[in-house]
Amino acid sequence: MPDSRLFFIAAICVSLVDCSREPAPAPRPRAAPVDPRPVAPDLREALTEEKIVDGARPALVTVESLDRRGVLIRSGTGWLVASRTVVTPWPVVAQAASIRILRTGELHRGSLSAVLESDGLARIATDLDAKVELARDPYPTPGSHLCAIGMRDGEIAIEGASVIGTSDAPGDRDDAMAISIQPRATLTGSGLFDGRGELVAITDEPDPKAEFVLATPVRYIKDLLALPEGTLPKVTQSPLRRLASADREWLRSLAATMARGDRPPARADVERARAVIERMEPMVGAELAWARLELGIGWLIYRRALWEDAVDARVFRRIARSERRMALESRLEKLGVLSRKDIDDGNAIIRAVAAREPFDVPGFRVTADERWLALQLAATDRTRARIETALWQNGAIR
């Protein structure tokens, strides 16, 4: 009996203790997974056609191709897409002996700098400073409205355009943008602008039989800007091979002396160069650009790239070897413009500049500072202008 009472009392105590506890909380339902928060798009007010044209106007030029006698053979629209850089469709300048840039009634010199032949674009170096805003890479969706801006007879031509999609016609590039433009009198190279006033494509040469106009998207313009100077279409052989061996070597020696010795040519040399080069005519487009690289211009392009790397080497105290200079070394070495010694000497200069050590240049020993490097860049540009004036613009080739 006592044991049963004790058991009864213990059971009551246990029940009292359990009743004093708070009830266990009910399990919460598992929260649904949260997706990454979407990023709000860069919302900008759509521009009117008038504002789009006003924004594009400073970068709009006419590109004119001239034959060796200075006669106009072709023209098209071009766009300043970076400082001193014009982009236009390759067919506009493919047969040019010389190039002229026209903006607001003023004429400026232009020279072929690089070509993206497979996508039909050419890059031209000039002295103009302005640029158009480039759009992002994705294509506008089919049905998007664009503003086509080009030059026609010295006046700005503005047309409405709508995106059809990408071309699937045989022989066309798979990713060429197909555009419907009304009216169809669009000049080659017209820029297509979206509502933000950004360049999304450049029109190809219109085919009067086609139902639409093809355009090269902006991403290929960016590829073209990344090419090193002197990237040219494929040519089977140097046009200088048409000359006799003695004439070819004399001409190359004259150009090398002018480029490396920084001296203007004698009038007799220019007259003889003109007579020699006339034996290679006709020489246009890619062949002309190849000849320019071989005859002094290639060396000066490389030299400028070297001094640009030297500036970086001094500022950051490291050996600078840009992709542009490496590409130029490879191409110019194959052309015989650069020797392995030239390349090794250039690399030695970069190492010395990075270490703030003296090095030898023709005629004296120097320790480069920022002012000295800036003078070398300016001297290179002056020498190039002098050679182009003497041999190309007013001399051997016109």
Q: Is the peptide bond before 25 cis (omega within 30 degrees of 0)?
A: no
Q: Is the pLDDT score of 183 beyond 90?
A: no
Number of H helices, E strands in the chain: 11, 14
**pLDDT tens digits, residue range 215-246?**
888 888 999 998 888 787 777 777 888 888 88
Residue 43 has what pLDDT?
55
| Averaged pLDDT for residues 126-148 | 85
Q: Which of 32-46, 81-95, 238-252 has the lowest mean pLDDT?
A: 32-46
Provide the residue type at 214 as one letter: L
Whether the pLDDT of residue 263 is over 90: the answer is no
In eight-state DSSP terms, residue 119 is G
The most confident of the ranges 70-79, 253-262, 316-325 is: 70-79
Band the pLDDT of 64: cuts 50, 70, 90. Answer: very high
**% of the chain with per-residue pLDDT over 90:** 15
- To which residue do tokens 């029109």 refer? 203
Q: Which of 34-38, 306-310, 349-353 has the lowest mean pLDDT?
A: 34-38
Per-residue model confidence (pLDDT) at position 85: 94
DSSP 237-275: S-GGGGS-HHHHHHHHHHHHHHHHH--PPPHHHHHHHHH
Binned at pLDDT 50, 70 and 90, residue 179 comes out as: confident
As a whole number, mean pLDDT of residues 175-183 equals 67
Which of 12-21, 130-139, 243-252 shows the lowest mean pLDDT across its residues? 12-21
- Mean local confidence (pLDDT), 147-163: 85
pLDDT at 14: 45
Ordered structural domains, the chain, with CATH: 49-125 (2.40.10.10), 145-226 (2.40.10.10), 239-393 (no CATH)
Does pLDDT of 11 surpass 80?
no
Q: Give percent of the chain above pLDDT 70.
A: 80
What tokens does 16 get? 């009292």
The label of the residue with tokens 């001297």 reads 379
* pTM tops 0.75, yes or no: no
Cα 248 from Cα 240, distance rounded (Å): 6
Say which range, 13-27, 48-62, 253-267, has the weakest mean pLDDT.
13-27
Residue 19 has pLDDT above 50, yes or no: no
Angle between helices 298-316 and 323-335 (to 10 degrees): 150
What rounded mean pLDDT belongs to the chain?
A: 79
- Contact between residue 398 and residue 98 where contact means Cβ atoms under 8 Å apart: yes
Average pLDDT, stretch 47-59? 89
Residue 78: the pLDDT is 94
> What is the C-alpha to C-alpha distance for residues 129 and 148, in angstroms, rounded to an integer?
22
Q: For the ranges 44-48, 90-94, 351-355, which has the lowest average pLDDT?
A: 44-48
Rg of the chain on CA atoms, in Å: 33
- Residue 334, pLDDT > 90, answer no
Task: Give the pLDDT of residue 39.
Answer: 47
Residue 169 has pLDDT above 60, yes or no: no
Q: Which residue has the higher pLDDT, 252 or 42?
A: 252
Collapse the DSSP code of 255 into the 3-class scheme (helix H, G, I; strand E, B; otherwise coil) and give the result.
Answer: helix
340-354 and 323-335 helices, crossing angle to 10°: 160
- From 56-60, 272-276, 328-332, 357-361, the region with the lowest mean pLDDT: 272-276
